[in-house]
Each structure stands twice: as structure tokens, then as C-alpha cells.
Amino acid sequence: MKSFPMFIRTTDRRVVIVGGGEQAAQKTRLILKTDARIILAAPRLEDELAGAVAQGTVEWSAGPVTLATFEGAAMAFIATGCPAHDAALHALATAARCPVNVVDRPDLCDITTPSLVDRDPVVVAIGTEGTAPVLARQIKTQIEQSLAPSLGGLAAFSGRLRGAVARDIPRARRRAFWAWVFNGSPRRKWIAGQEHHAITEVKSALEAGGTFQQEAKGSIALVGAGPGARDLLTLRAVERLQEADVIFYDRLVSEDVLELARRDAERVFVGKVVGAHAWPQERINAIIVAEARKGRRVVRLKSGDPGIFGRAAEEIDAAREAGIDVEIVPGITAACGAAAAAGLPLTERGVADTLVLATGMAREGAALPDTLRHTGPGTTTVLYMAVAQAPRLRDELMASGLPAQAQVTIGADISKGSQQILKTTITILPDTLAEHGITGCAVLIITWPAAEVTQQGIPAARPMLATV
């Protein structure tokens, strides 16, 4: 290492930022995350910095910068934008023995600012000694995905209990107690938004001298994997994958998404293909409950959003009947993924103020659903699992009054390498599907303009932003 990573205390200390432009504002935003006393040294300030001065969050020194400006400061940032001026100010800071960073001049930097993952008081700093800032940002993104946004709150709460733990829990039990707090049910409840329950559980264990109930009961998380691309998962979905002991996944979940799981997690494919249900729903219900009863953390990984045509209700009921904790982690549903890929708004003022999500399929042995009962002027209808029913749906829509030239967007294999985004009209929808060989994994987006728009003529189709 050419630079040693460390943390510098800022409480009751000054940080000097010389400059009044955008570069100085960038450093000010960074240091405002701390409790330092920030001194802006510049004859003039841009609007953002002037606003910070007016709010009292920083102090402004408009006079000359001298040796005294830097003396005793924890650190200084120099960002005047003038190379000669920056070099002269660097010499002053060095003479005052103040660690200094000169923006865009690595040769004049005693200190550098890393990429930060901020879960105050938990902070992760990533540096590459200036060699690869893009790589540092990529690493930051990966760490951001792996740490719950609320994790800092748990750390802060635990910090407030350190004195009580040292007083009330024998030394031999403390390590196990803290391991339980950060690896067991308190952490899971905290990052699931159940902070009050986590606090109550920890304080009860503390009052019992560090004795806590060992977790014999597992949990089930129904996790939405989104339409396909791994970077469309939520941070919470990634967290559950990295915590899981066993993952049950569908055929539409990509291998890239599964790679986000911890390496030693068991993976079980329970994919169902229309007409060939190797894993009937009842069997899936039974096995996820059985695994949770073993004390395992179970993830039921579903494409899209588990609550939208994902048969989540049956799995939730099975878990609750067994007394197993169950959680839903939402995902980006195919309607949103397809519309985004096509550059298409699902609602539009004056054209479509109602969004309908419907399916063209029914469970085995049941009659086909009345898919279009909510579709009419002023609606956008997104049809799932409806490709095979396209001729019937076209006829019903046109018989109900949908104009023959109404636009239909077809989204197939959304956000995957085989993605297709196609524009057609309702009249030739079945022909377009057949021509492009689309038979299964697709959604149909149909906008039926409001009556006054229809009278004026169907709006021209928007240009597509993504067609593969």
C-alpha cells in the first residue's frame, strides 16, 4: 500500500475547504456527513454554498487565507480551480502541518477521499490510490447492495447498550450475545422494518443476563426477482438471497440472479412449464414449510413480483398455518419492466388514467377468466400469460369498441439477452406474435385512449428506446 486507510476523528475539529465553486461544494457535501466544524475560505461562494452558510451548517471566511487558517485543522481541501493558487495554498497547509487534499492534483495530496458506503455509524471506505476510480464505484455499488440501508441504526442501538452489556452480561457470554444480535433474529427483524420488535427482543435478553432463545424455527421470504436482469433486484432481495440457507426458484429466474446468493446456499429448481407441472403448487407449499421447520432461512424466488400472478397467497397461507414467519419482498413486475424497456408510460394524463393488470390464463380445470372486464376508454391494460389467447382477446376488444389502429406493445424476455420489444396494432396482434415466434414469456400492453382522444384519432406511436 502507498496509502494507509484510517478514520480521522472530526468531533470538535475544523475542516477547511478553500474555494467557492462546484468542486468546493462537492467536498462540502462529503464533510457535511460528519460532525466537523466546516470553514469555507473564499472571497465568493456559489449559490449552494451560500445557502449552507445561511442555514448555519458551515462557516464562511471571506478574507485572505493565511497559515492560521490551517493551523489545528483536522484536514483541508483546496479547490480554487487555479493551479498556481492551489499550489501556493498547499504550501501554506503543509507549513501548518495540516493534512491536505488538492482537488485533481494527486501529486499534492497527503490525503485522498475514498468512495463511501454510509450506514452511519457503519462506514465502508473503498480506495484504489487513484488508479481506478471506476472500479471503486463498482465495488461501492456491490457493497451498497449487500448492506441493508437500516443497518446503521442497529449498530447505533447496539452502541448505546455496550455499557449495559458490560455491566449485566458475564464476559463469557458476551461474544455469543453480540453474535446473536447481529446474525440472528434481532438483525433480521431490524432490516425488515420491525425495529420495535428487535429492540424488545434484545432488551429482554439483556435483562435475562444475556440468555436468549435459540432459534429453532426458520423463516420464509417470497422474493421478487424482477423481469430478468440482476441489477433490477431490490437491495432487500439481494440481502435475502445472501442470508438464505435454501432457495426455491422458478424457471424464469436467470442464473445471474442466482449468483447473488451466498455460495453455500442450497438451490432447488421448482420451475413449472404450462402443461407440464413437475412441481405442483401443493408440493412447493409443503417443501418450503418443511425446510423452514428445520430452522432454515428459506427464499422462494419468483420472477417479477411475487404478489402479481405469482401464486403467493397459497404459499403465504401454508406458512402461516404452520406458524412460520413469512415475508414478501416485492420485485419489478413484467408490466413495469416491459414499459420501461419500450420507453412507454403506463399511464398518461388525458389518455390513460387507469392501469389494469390481468391474465389470460386460469388454473387447471377452471373457465378462462373475464380478462377484459375492466378494460375501456382511458385505460392501459397489461396482459400476462395471454399470448395463446391473443386472437380471442383481440376479437373481444374490437367488439367492445377498441379502435382497429390501437397500439399494442409486446414485451418478451424482458431485460434478458433475448429481449424483444415490438409495436403492432390490435388488428394484427396474433399475426405479429406468430411472425416473431413469441409463444410464452411475454406481456401485451394495450392502451385504450380516453374517449375524447379516440374521437380525435389514435395518438402516434412513440419511438422505442430499446429494441432487441
CA separation, residue 408 to residues 75, 159, 446, 460 (Å): 59, 56, 5, 12
- DSSP string of 15-46, one letter each residue: EEEE-SSHHHHHHHHHHTTS--EEEEE-SS--
Question: What is the phi/psi pair of residue 146, to 5°?
Answer: -90, -15
Amino acid at 288: I
Element (H, E) at 424: strand 420-425
Is 29 buried (19+), middle (13-18) or exposed (0-12) by CB count in 10 A? exposed
Q: What is the structure's pLDDT at 84?
A: 94
3-state helix, strand, coil in the chain (%, to 5): 40, 20, 40
Name residue 382's beta-bridge partners: 357, 445
> Helices marked H in 147-210 — which ranges?
151-168, 171-183, 185-191, 195-207
Helices (H) and strands (E) in the chain, counts: 17, 17
Question: What is the phi/psi pair of residue 388, to 5°?
Answer: -65, -20
Catalytic residues: 250, 272
Cell of 433: 406474435
Q: CB-side exposure of 218: number of CA atoms within 13 Å? A: 20
Q: What is the structure's pLDDT at 453?
A: 58
Does pTM top 0.75 for this prediction? no
Spell out where 89-150 has E strands.
Answer: 100-102, 115-119, 122-126
Q: Are strands 266-269 and 246-249 parallel, antiparallel or unpaired?
A: parallel
Q: What is the structure's pLDDT at 25?
A: 96
pLDDT lower than 50: segments of the chain: 274-275, 460-468
Give the single-character DSSP code of 226. B
CA separation, residue 215 to residues 16, 142, 164, 186, 299 (Å): 51, 30, 24, 11, 17
Name residue 60's beta-bridge partners: 40
**CA distance linking residue 461 with residue 380, whole number of Å:** 14
Name residue 299's beta-bridge partners: 221, 247
**CA distance linking residue 75 with residue 80, whole number of Å:** 16
